[in-house]
Structure 1
Amino acid sequence: MTSPEGQEPNAGTAPGEPEPGPEISEGLKIYGAVLKALRLEADLTQEEFGPHVRYSSHYIAKIEQGKRFPPEKLPQRAEVVLGPLAGKVLRAAAKSLRRKPGLASWFQQWAGIEEEAITLCAYECRAIPGLLQPEPYIRAVLERQLPPYTEEEIDRLVAARLARQQLFRDRPHTAFSFIVEQSLLERGIGGDSVTKHLIDHLLEVGRLTNVEIQVMPLRQEDHAGSNGQLYLAETEEHRWFGYTEGHQSSNLIATAGDVSVLLQRYGKLRSQALDCRATVSLLEQLRGAL
């Protein structure tokens, strides 16, 4: 939902995601190179290979570039197409990669989970979720980061974040749920013109049949989000994962009991936020006041 790319800071669903350390980056590049070599040996393009393993060609390209943590099911699915030896090679490479520690590896795993999920949920109290950010808002956020980015870095990060929003097109059967604090809309990052563009974009994305956007009103005596932002994803096997972030840190949550706590909190947040129709009315009201 929140973030980033190869892995580039802030290139994904939320601000503040760390770049991978050199060890994890190199491991991902090696895995990607191995996958690419096996695919080419089978004389398959990314567009031909993707449907066989049930991932988009865009996702396969990211893995081969070392910009996505490989999904656990990839070796098993690739084995059917590329042969038993290819499956063994990819499993060995994946095990070696997952033994490497570091926060960036957790983010890489979340990015992979996110791209395969059948349900994605996000509650944000810091910034609009990256998947919902239009380009003017992305630039406004990145231009205010410290330490500051160069113009070239901002252009690269904007392109990466916009590319992540391909999820809406690649995953038409995924259910997306977003809850954002009203204060994020009234903060006015980048000025009125940026806020107008943001609200128009939220109204447009909210019209997609598989997307629900809810706003948490400024005044809400019962509020289950006091512990901060949270993300949740449900896999095809109906297993749930959670993801949270802090300054220069991130945490993938896989323990069933801990994920259950996040699910309870998110369910309560959905009941406390404005419903989708009331959210549209509020967005239109805020847009008209600018």
Structure 2
Amino acid sequence: MPAPTVRLRRLAAELRQLRSVADLTREEVAERTGVNVATLYRIETARVRPQARTLAALLDVYGLEEPKRTELMTLLKQSAHRGWLNTFATDLPERYTSYIEFEAEASEVLNYECLFIPGLLQTEGYARAAIEGALPESTRDEIESRVEARMQRQAVLSKEQPLKLWAIVDEAAIRRVVGGRDVMREQLEHLVRITELPTVHLQVIPFNAGAHPGMPGSFVVMNFAEALGPEIVYIDSQAGDLFLEEETDISRYNLVFTHLRAVALSPSASVSLLAATAREH
């Protein structure tokens, strides 16, 4: 099942709240609107995008007035909007486009990577080499489509209200020579420069830190403005991509990230290590 967009999650949360305020059960709403209970459940959990007439019927039952009514009808229209992603609609996996949508709406991202430089911080040369190596069966066009999408994603770091990014990488990610020595030197120098942005923080966990809580695998925690809904954890693995929304999962990964911050080098010491490693190339 495709992951919902951020706006669809917000709409679902608003509808749950409206039904709660109206003190109605799903069965009572179904009886008054003709929308069956199973469909109503899927709408309220952002599993499906309601039709405009269905949303209008629900808002009638809840007695919602202007301007809030127009706000939610507009939100419904926006919930299917992919912006620049329309260019890649047939080239990128559904779960990846969902991830990009979430990332574009997030206010803060906590990203831990074991073996790769975080996508938002990759140079084009590194991105191309990393994608070629990780997806050996992809065609040239598929690789270029992913590279272009990855480069466009990085606009979130320089928009009017830039995304706050806190990235932590294992030293293995900066030592592995992806794309050759020139590509890797360019990548490391880019990391040194981009950490000058006040909204970007980068830490490296050195090899001599020993075992640490991030060794089981990479993950991303996305935080959103209150109106857009709760946090999401994203995990990318060989078994498939996962979006976790349960409070226990979110708490666990936030705690892991806190531990990783503690075992990693400080941001300034990390930049020194990046610069020294770049000079080695």
SS for the counterpart of 1:224 is coil
- Please, which moves more after superposition, 119-128 or 222-231? 222-231
Q: Which residue of 1 aligns with 2:20?
A: none
Structure-to-structure mapping, 1:94-243, within 5 angstroms: 107-170=96-159, 172-237=161-226, 239-243=230-234
The Cα offsets for residues 28-55 of structure 1, whole Å up to 9 and x where unpaired, read as 9xx9xxxxxxxxxxxxxxxxxxxxxxxx
Structure 1 239/171 Cα, relative in aligned 2: closer, same or farther at 3 Å? farther
Q: CA RMSD in A?
A: 3.7
**Contact residue 115 and residue 172 of structure 2 kept, 8 A:** no
For residues 83 and 107 of structure 1, what CA distance do their matches in structure 2 show? 31
Shift of 1:110: 3.6
For residues 97 and 213 of structure 2, what CA distance do their matches in structure 1 show? 28
Shift of 1:86: 4.4
SS for the counterpart of 2:234 is strand
**Contact residue 109 and residue 220 of structure 2 kept, 8 A:** yes
- Structure 1: where are the runs of 5+ without partners? 1-20, 32-68, 95-103
SS for the counterpart of 1:143 is helix
**Contact residue 71 and residue 113 of structure 1 kept, 8 A:** no
Q: Which residue of 1 aligns with 2:34?
A: none
User: Could you state the TM-score of these two structures normalised by the residue count of structure 2?
Assistant: 0.66
SS for the counterpart of 2:235 is strand
For residues 150 and 108 of structure 1, what CA distance do their matches in structure 2 show? 19
- Counterpart code for 2:121: L
Q: Share of identical aligned residues, percent? A: 27
What is the aligned length? Answer: 215
1:259 paired to 2:246: no
Which has the larger share of helix?
Answer: 2
1:245 to 236, 240, 243: 236
- Decide which structure has the larger Cα Rg and report it: 2
- Structure 2: where are the runs of 5+ without partners? 9-46, 60-65, 82-92
For residues 206 and 71 of structure 1, what CA distance do their matches in structure 2 show? 39
For residues 112 and 71 of structure 1, what CA distance do their matches in structure 2 show? 16
User: Could you state the TM-score of these two structures normalised by the residue count of structure 1?
Assistant: 0.64
Structure-to-structure mapping, 1:65-76, within 5 angstroms: none
Q: Which residue of 1 aligns with 2:259?
A: 268
